[in-house]
Amino acid sequence: MVEIIIDREREINMIESGIRVGLKILLKGLRGVGKTTLLKYFVEKYNGLYVNCQKILRPEHLLEIIGNEGNYVDAYEALEKFFEIACNKYYLIALDEFTDLLVRLGNFKPYRGTGGTSAVASHLRAILEEVKKPIIFSTTSIKTLYDVAGEYSKPLARSFDMIIHVHPLSMEDALKLIDKLCSEKGIKCTYDAKLRIAEMSGGNPAYIKAIINGLRGEKIDINSVNETVNALLREGYFNLLFQGIEREISISELEVLYIISRGYTRYSEIEKRGRGININQALSLLIQRGFITKIKINRESHYVINDKTMALWLATEPYPGLEALSFETARIMHAAFESLVRELFMQIQKTIEVKDITGKKLLIYPVKKVYRYRGKLGEIDAIIVTKQGTIVCEIYFGEKCPPEKIQQLERNVAIAEKMGESIYAAALISYFGFQNETIERAKQSPAMQIIYLLDKNSLWQISKAIGYRLL
Ligand SMILES: Nc1ncnc2c1ncn2[C@@H]1O[C@H](COP(=O)(O)OP(=O)(O)OP(=O)(O)O)[C@@H](O)[C@H]1O
Ligand SMILES: [Mg+2]
């Protein structure tokens, strides 16, 4: 039985529509985001064939799966036979981590010595052109595909009719999974502690499970979550996982990742610290692997680490010449809700319109700069400088936002004005919405004309407009 899947409505609908018309679908996404879970969901639904390609060590294994353990055949024939029989028997085929299959078969005759993995890739492409049944593939990284299939990766990539990027869960869905797991295990978690788990897992379901399995005691608060995550990062599951990933990449890529993790996200900053490295090459490999995203703002490239938990680990891990950050600093920089919000706004490169919870429209112009202010005047979660003025934000991550935050927002506006920003909007951002009193307070504020109350729906409007994951 497949476990209950939390949400995934978007992915499920897309895959469903693809299956119905017999498409070849590729699911890609970081480790643990839920690719296998989606594959198994559809295999169960359509009574299809699930193949874990990590377990296909030799050509015979392919044939065993379809119940054909007859005469010896070479890898070429095995691949042909597999698809021939599987397509006859099943409506749907799912190949999990299919790049492993390319690599393994490439070591066997007749592929070995005639192109190896690339030869398997080109053969697979030819087979896929003939197959009329729907097939779902999964892979952890497009980079792996490029590595293993070499010059065949591009034509192979073209034989997928639909490529779906599986993102981590939204904060809301992460919270649902956390609730479910905690109640299964009889763990009593404060609301804030649950939110902290959602933040520090970056919404990755495998990470959520790891954190919850690591919790000790029956009553859990924010501090115990911090302690657990810290322990997992230093000597537990996360440390093992990320050390493993570290070994898969080159020294140059690794150094660039460490530099970015310390908060040097601009190209010029990375270049300055990565002397002797071929920075452009390292950056583009890291992008292909899905480890970082390039964000171009105001003609300068910025790079952010996609896996927030990995960013947390890198930032707090020693590296020669780069001072490690404290857990708390790293948490705020990489894994706090407000940092996700800043990252979201950074990517706005065309004018978009969002509605606040009262239906009031806010225009956000192309963004030139996003920063957090901490200094003599106070603290501001996000200052968003656009081509046509500045938006000052106060960001809240908790249950319904309390009215005091309106005063905080007013103070932020005053501070930003002193700093010389020309402000056209002040946004109070609260993922889970606002208390009625907060909405009333906003209406009575002297700054009411420019105040906007943004909740998760407003943030999702931005995500959709720029093609970013739903926070
Ligand atoms: N939508 C979901 N709802 C509930 N649990 C989920 C969901 N997606 C994944 N999980 C759980 O998270 C864990 C990781 O999921 P899964 O193995 O599907 O990820 P994956 O992307 O295949 O990871 P890997 O790269 O390690 O193969 C599993 O324990 C799974 O049960
Ligand atoms: Mg998997």
Ligand 2 centre from 455 Cα, in Å? Answer: 33
Of the ligands numbered here, which is closest to the C-alpha atom of 28? 1
CATH of the domain at 276: 1.10.10.10
Of the ligands numbered here, which is closest to the C-alpha atom of 178? 1
pLDDT level of residue 4 (50, 70, 90 thresholds): low
CATH of the domain at 221: 1.10.8.60
Q: Is 201 in the pocket of ligand 1 (CB under 6 A)?
A: no
User: What distance in Å separates the CA atoms of residue 110 and residue 122, rounded to the nearest whole number?
Assistant: 13
Total tally of structural domains belonging to the chain: 4
Q: State whether 143 and 270 are in the same domain.
A: no
Atom of ligand 1 nearest to the CA of 208: 12
Those residues whose C-beta lies under 8 Å from the C-beta of residue 232, and which sit 6 or more positions away, are 210, 211, 214, 238, 239
What is the per-residue pLDDT for 389?
97
Atom of ligand 1 nearest to the CA of 138: 22
Least confident of 65-79, 166-180, 320-334, 352-366: 65-79
Q: State whether 310 and 330 are in the same domain.
A: yes
Three-state secondary-structure class, residue 138: strand
Q: Is 6 in the pocket of ligand 1 (CB under 6 A)?
A: yes
Q: Is 168 in the pocket of ligand 1 (CB under 6 A)?
A: no
Q: Is 5 in the pocket of ligand 1 (CB under 6 A)?
A: yes
Output DSSP code: residue 65.
H
| Residue 42 confidence (pLDDT) above 50 | yes
CB 148 within 8 A of CB 36: no
Ligand 1 centre from 8 Cα, in Å? Answer: 11
Q: Is 35 in the pocket of ligand 1 (CB under 6 A)?
A: yes
| Residue 49 confidence (pLDDT) above 50 | yes
Q: Could you list the residue range(s) of the whole structural domain that residue 225 is in?
A: 171-235
CB 101 within 8 A of CB 123: no
User: What distance in Å separates the CA atoms of residue 326 and residue 315, rounded to the nearest whole number?
Assistant: 8
Q: Is 32 in the pocket of ligand 1 (CB under 6 A)?
A: yes
pLDDT tens digits for range 435-463 = 999 999 999 999 999 999 999 999 999 99
Three-state secondary-structure class, residue 366: coil
pLDDT level of residue 149 (50, 70, 90 thresholds): low
**Ligand 1 pocket test, candidate residues 28, 36, 99, 207, most atoms within 8 A of CB:** 36
What is the per-residue pLDDT for 148?
66
- What is the residue with the minimal CA distance to atom 8 of ligand 1? 34
Ramachandran category for residue 289: left, alpha or beta (phi over 0 → left; psi -120 to 50 → alpha)? alpha
Q: Is 53 in the pocket of ligand 1 (CB under 6 A)?
A: no
Q: Is 40 in the pocket of ligand 1 (CB under 6 A)?
A: no
| Residue 66 confidence (pLDDT) above 50 | yes
- Within a domain: 3: no
Q: State whether 13 and 160 are in the same domain.
A: yes
Mean pLDDT of 344-350: 96
- Within a domain: 4: no
The beta strand positions in 349-388, using DSSP E, are 352-355, 361-364, 367-375, 378-386
| pTM (two decimals) | 0.94
- Within a domain: 412: yes
Q: Is 209 in the pocket of ligand 1 (CB under 6 A)?
A: yes
What is the per-residue pLDDT for 154?
73
| Residue 151 confidence (pLDDT) above 70 | no
Of the ligands numbered here, which is closest to the C-alpha atom of 30? 1
CA 92, 102, 70: angle at the middle one, nearest 5? 70
Q: Is 3 in the pocket of ligand 1 (CB under 6 A)?
A: yes
Q: Which residue has the higher pLDDT, 336 or 218?
A: 336
CB 40 within 8 A of CB 211: no
pLDDT tens digits for range 80-104 = 999 999 999 999 999 999 999 999 9
Q: State whether 18 and 161 are in the same domain.
A: yes
Q: Is 28 in the pocket of ligand 1 (CB under 6 A)?
A: no
pLDDT level of residue 289 (50, 70, 90 thresholds): confident
Atom of ligand 1 nearest to the CA of 204: 12
pLDDT tens digits for range 398-431 = 999 999 999 999 999 999 999 999 999 999 999 9
User: What distance in Å separates the CA atoms of residue 120 and residue 107, rounded to the nearest whole number?
Assistant: 10
- First-to-last CA distance in the chain? 29
| Residue 141 confidence (pLDDT) above 90 | no
Residue with tokens 């899905």: 290
Mean pLDDT of 166-179: 96
Q: State whether 312 and 196 are in the same domain.
A: no
Q: Over pLDDT 90: what percentage of the chain?
A: 87
Q: State whether 24 and 141 are in the same domain.
A: yes
pLDDT tens digits for range 8-20 = 998 999 999 999 9
Q: State whether 327 and 344 are in the same domain.
A: no
Of the ligands numbered here, which is closest to the C-alpha atom of 31? 1
Atom of ligand 1 nearest to the CA of 6: 3
Q: State whether 369 and 460 are in the same domain.
A: yes
Q: Within a 10 A sphere around the Cβ of 154, how many other Cβ atoms?
A: 11
Q: State whether 16 and 161 are in the same domain.
A: yes
- Within a domain: 43: yes
Mean pLDDT of 139-158: 72
* Domain end among 288, 319, 335: 335
Q: State whether 367 and 440 are in the same domain.
A: yes
282 closest CA partner among 263, 299, 258 = 258
Mean pLDDT of 280-308: 93
Q: Within a 10 A sphere around the Cβ of 324, how many other Cβ atoms?
A: 16
- Within a domain: 13: yes
What is the per-residue pLDDT for 3?
61
* pLDDT, mean over the chain: 94
The 3-state secondary structure of 288-301, one letter per residue: HCCCEEEEEECCEE
Q: How far is CA 175 from the centre of its chain?
A: 16
Ligand 2 centre from 155 Cα, in Å? Answer: 24
What is the per-residue pLDDT for 367?
97
Ligand 2 centre from 33 Cα, in Å? Answer: 8
* Domain end among 120, 145, 165: 165
* Domain end among 335, 367, 383: 335
Ligand 2 centre from 352 Cα, in Å? Answer: 36
CATH of the domain at 448: 3.40.1350.10
pLDDT tens digits for range 212-225 = 999 998 899 999 99
Mean pLDDT of 25-30: 93
Q: State whether 293 and 380 are in the same domain.
A: no
Ligand 1 centre from 3 Cα, in Å? Answer: 10
| Residue 1 confidence (pLDDT) above 50 | no
In the sheet where 423-430 sits, what is the strand order?
367-375, 378-386, 389-396, 423-430, 451-454
